[in-house]
Structure 1
């Protein structure tokens, strides 16, 4: 067994570089996140989700004309095929939205005219349709499970606006729609996390984009990856009836219990995305008259940071999930749709990584991921164990 394999065994590939990428970069010590060379702060303040999606897919910011054409393509792809609507209506109304989303992506594949296309342009076209239709699936399912008919897309509305319209059946407040668009920008990519690596690993087999995205959604559905903001909101709802929130936080930390939304596998300081969501939570609290959620989240943050600092754990700070929870809640989005919204955003990054994996420039990179494992099971020598007939076994 090689020394290289020994050095990375049983660490979940943490710190192991498995491929080059030009899509995004993280400096966890300094709290830096970059998409294609652009700081997340500038993109959150000045860009839109579809402009960022173009940037991730194409590698450069679009001209005005390029962005307009891209937006029109996304709008043209919003309509769900009827067979998908029919399938959604046949599903149990208690189905988890992430399971529904994952099941829907393969059903979208046969409707895509570029499915058999091997070139980059065909893959970009598939990505555009997925960016357009992921919100439509989530919104349609939420209405169907509540006994309502899915709504057609409105081509006069921008991306986040249209999702809120199809979700709720009423034209959204422009400021709230803009805030949701910023949320989508903040979640659009995050290098080789579990779901992105799942997408790239499947893409390395030369499976089509829909198969790779399905794998990514499956990875995101796991409790160690997606869903943290759902649990943060559950914590805040519980704290609404707690008389002494400060003491509750201290007790949690004293007993070694986790504070949901605090700490990150990569960032050793505050998550740069959390900065924008924290300010957004304050503004939304005032706008919607739900300031208690902003107050509770900031109280938990303040006490937790103080207590972690006292214990020499200054690297534990709020992550993107901590403040996205009250933000989505104040927008009126159901808790079990928080993770699908993550997917609605991350689809831009997933597709970009799939395309990069399929058309990698590095000639020395094997096409197929094939890690090696160390066998630690039963061993009876090179000839193997002696097979005994079933009647002879005890």
Structure 2
């Protein structure tokens, strides 16, 4: 007979007992991974990933292979074969915002001309207009303390208002992709505004996106009570969206998109799964950790020009004696890049101008100093299989802080951007109609006999 009247104390005790059993039941001896040559994380000890697919959407290049030896080279990131540095330099020289152009490139494979780009923007603006009321109602109905969960729920809810949600033809999925590009920014900003209203009793201000503005401009327009922003602020946010839009098929959330898409499921389920992946602090939330680490560093070190004091702080981080005792220097090191992360270089080159506008020069100089000293400290205290460098998270959180973007939106902005890459990879997976993704797992459980319940 089931007892439905357990006290809270009894429930807590029972959960604790069950969790102990669960831990014991799920423990696997680490030596077995070596014995069976398991590629944990689908990577080998050198950092080279297990080849699980082919893509033309994006390429991450960080090493060359010379006589079976990986030789690190300066990192490069390409979208549809075009270096992302060339893309950013192109639209910035012309004084344009580039995220919509980048999204078109990823989804359709070519750079749009002026007329086609205008039509693509019109499709996004039309979707913004038609989905704005839906976005407001969705987040107002059930506020959440985590905006990534708002995005996941909101994307899944879009299924219910789509007249043809399960059609996985390229034409229909492309339509859904454009509507997601338009809807996710509204879900994120409205979700945040509802959050601060519900949990901090702040005034609820919901601005409707303007059709003449870019996605980056509209994010700032919707987020700020007075809707005001400078051209440099919008340019830096747009730039951040561009460099976060795609990173090859092997990153966790994009691989999740391929895995889920390979089952034949609908677009909203696939993108919601990718959002769930990106939410994890090992993936999309790292820039928040960087900000917290720097806050701790500034509290511990009075002289930001003291190299030895900074080295000592970083050494304590590696020894699990400082900050969160994780043994990590957040924002430094990457699964692929060794010498340089091109995204970090692009952000750094433009962050200095924003730092001057916002009077953050001293903090920007501190970032540059940590970027220089951290690899030296890591090399001295850790066994290195490859070099380390500052990654994109190192500067992105700093830029968001200068833009006045709250931490709760750091990872959602990553998601807003990466929707373009996820949808491009979904289209690629559907176009090539590959097999369902199903890697092998070896069972190492001992054989046991079933025991009748009265004999247990």
TM over 0.5: yes
* Greater Cα shift, 142-151 or 203-212: 142-151
* Alignment partners' CA distance in 2, 1:308 and 1:84: 45
Shift of 1:351: 0.3
Residue 376 (structure 2) pairs with residue 342 (structure 1): no
- CA shift for structure 1 position 374: 0.2
Contact in 1 for aligned 2:173/2:427 (Cα 8 Å): yes
Alignment partner, residue 90 of structure 1? 141
- Give the alignment partner of residue 279 of structure 2, picking from 221, 230, 235: 221
Please give the secondary structure, in 2, of the residue aligned with 1:316: coil
Q: Does 1:19 align with 2:53?
A: yes
Aligned to 1:193: 251
Q: Is the 8 A contact 2:57 2:79 kept in 1?
A: yes
> Whole-Å Cα distance in 2 between the matches of residues 134 and 293 of structure 1?
32
Number of the residue aligned with 2:440: 372
Gap regions ≥5 residues in structure 2: 1-34, 44-48, 64-72, 92-97, 198-203, 320-326
Number of the residue aligned with 1:286: 356
Larger Rg: 2
Q: Pick from 152, 156, 170: which aligns with 2:208?
A: 152
SS for the counterpart of 1:77 is: helix
Distance 1:81 1:75 in 2: 10
Of residues 235, 254, 276, the one that matches 2:293 is: 235
Hey, what's the Cα distance between the residues in 2 that align with 1:90 and 1:114? 24
Bigger mean CA deviation after superposition, 81-90 or 314-323? 81-90
Match of 1:77 among 106, 127, 150: 127
Superimposed CA distance per residue, residues 137-187 of structure 1 (whole angstroms, 9 cap, x where no aligned partner)? 111112122221321111121121011101113132112101111111101
How do 1:24-173 residues align onto structure 2 when only pairs under 5 Å count?
24-29=58-63, 30=73, 31-47=75-91, 48-79=98-129, 80=131, 82-92=133-143, 95-147=145-197, 148-169=204-225, 170-173=227-230
Shift of 1:250: 3.0
Three-state SS of the structure 2 residue aligned to 1:336 is helix
CA-CA distance at 1:306 after TM superposition: 3.4
Say how many residue pairs are matched. 379
**CA distance in structure 1 between the partners assigned to 2:36 and 2:342 by the alignment:** 31
Report if aligned partners of 2:135, 2:183 keep a CA contact under 8 Å in 1.
no
1:305 aligns to what? 375
Runs of 4 or more above 6 Å deviation: none
CA-to-partner distance for each residue in 1:30-76, whole Å, 9 max, x for gaps?
21111101001111212311111101101111122111110110111
Partner SS state of residue 86, structure 2: helix
TM-score norm. by structure 2 comes to: 0.79
Secondary structure at 1:359 match in 2: helix
Indicate the residue corresponding to 1:3 in structure 2.
none
| Greater alpha carbon shift after TM alignment, 128-137 vs 313-322 | 313-322
User: Normalising by structure 1, what TM-score?
Assistant: 0.91
Give the direction of change, closer, same or farther, for the CA distance of 1:353–1:344 in structure 2 (3 Å limit).
Answer: same
Gaps of 5+ in 1: 1-5
